[in-house]
Amino acid sequence: MPQNQQWILALDTTGARLNLALDSGTGQTRSQSLPLGRDLSTDLHTQLQQFVSPLSWEEMAAIAVLTGPGSYTGSRIGVVTARTLAQMLQVPLYGYSTLALAAAISAEPGAIAVSIPAQRHHVYGGVYQVEDARLYPTPLVADRNISILHWEAFLKIYETPLPHCQFEFSEDNSLKLVQRMTAIARQQLNSGQLGDWSRVLPAYGKPS
């Protein structure tokens, strides 16, 4: 890695907010959360450029992005932007599940069920094993779009009682998500796991 190429940029557009974080790997960090809503598609690139400045794009060592589930349009825009940046800069791209990162910031070590609201009386839900704050949680039950009734029934019959986090995309939680993304991406980068941009795709969370 070139000496000036040390920063990791994290990007999340899966909800109504544009969430960004930068981490130098040497203690310098920066993050912000903006309620862009419907203005995301028109304002993203301007806000991204302003956030990164005065750094140059050539100082980025890797990009991290939340792939979903979440907003269909937001997930697509975020992943396309991250893929374009990683390809242009020729740096690793790491794509992470929204539910996995929600589990990572919501739980002590152990298994946890996480859900976020979907449409038509559904939730996006999954079960993760959280081991270490620097590591990506291990999926125990794959992310799914499921009716609230079926999700509640699933939690009752799961093999062991689970803590359940109904994640809320507050400004504080949104900042924690992107900050944790930079930490996990840093660990993967330092361990030689070089994420391939072509393998990072939006996770829309189709109904199960």
Residue (of 77, 137, 73, 132) closest to 102 by Cα position: 137
Statement to judge: residues 72 and 106 lie in one domain: no
Using CA atoms, how far residue 77 sits from 17, 58, 69, 71, 208, in Å, is 13, 22, 13, 10, 24
Helix (H, G, I), strand (E, B) or coil at 147: strand
Quote the CA–CA distance of 93 and 200 in Å, as a whole number: 7
Residue (of 62, 73, 72) closest to 11 by Cα position: 62
- Does any domain span residue 2? no
CATH number of domain containing 119: 3.30.420.200
Radius of gyration of the chain (CA): 17
Statement to judge: residues 79 and 136 lie in one domain: no
Statement to judge: residues 90 and 192 lie in one domain: yes
Does the structure show a pLDDT above 60 at 105? Answer: yes
Statement to judge: residues 44 and 33 lie in one domain: yes
* 139-186 confidence digits (pLDDT tens): 999 999 999 999 999 999 998 889 999 999 899 999 999 999 999 999
Quote the CA–CA distance of 131 and 104 in Å, as a whole number: 9
Statement to judge: residues 69 and 123 lie in one domain: no
Quote the CA–CA distance of 207 and 137 in Å, as a whole number: 23
Statement to judge: residues 63 and 103 lie in one domain: no
- Does any domain span residue 33? yes
- Does any domain span residue 129? yes
**Angle separating helix axes 40-52 and 72-89, nearest 10 degrees:** 40
CATH number of domain containing 75: 3.30.420.40
In angstroms, how far is CA 173 from the centroid of its own chain?
Answer: 12
Using CA atoms, how far residue 208 sits from 98, 123, 124, 167, 180, in Å, is 17, 11, 10, 20, 28
Residue type, 170: S
- Does any domain span residue 133? yes
- Does any domain span residue 78? yes
Neighbours of 106 (CB within 10 A): 18
Statement to judge: residues 18 and 92 lie in one domain: yes
What is the domain range of residue 186? 7-97+170-199
Would you place residue 1 in the very low, low, confident or very high pLDDT band (cuts 50, 70, 90)? low
Statement to judge: residues 17 and 72 lie in one domain: yes
* 31-66 confidence digits (pLDDT tens): 999 998 888 888 999 999 999 999 999 999 999 999
Tally of domains within the chain: 2
Statement to judge: residues 151 and 195 lie in one domain: no
What share of the chain has pLDDT > 70, as a percent?
A: 96
Does the structure show a pLDDT above 90 at 135? Answer: no
Statement to judge: residues 110 and 68 lie in one domain: no
- Does any domain span residue 141? yes
- Does any domain span residue 206? no
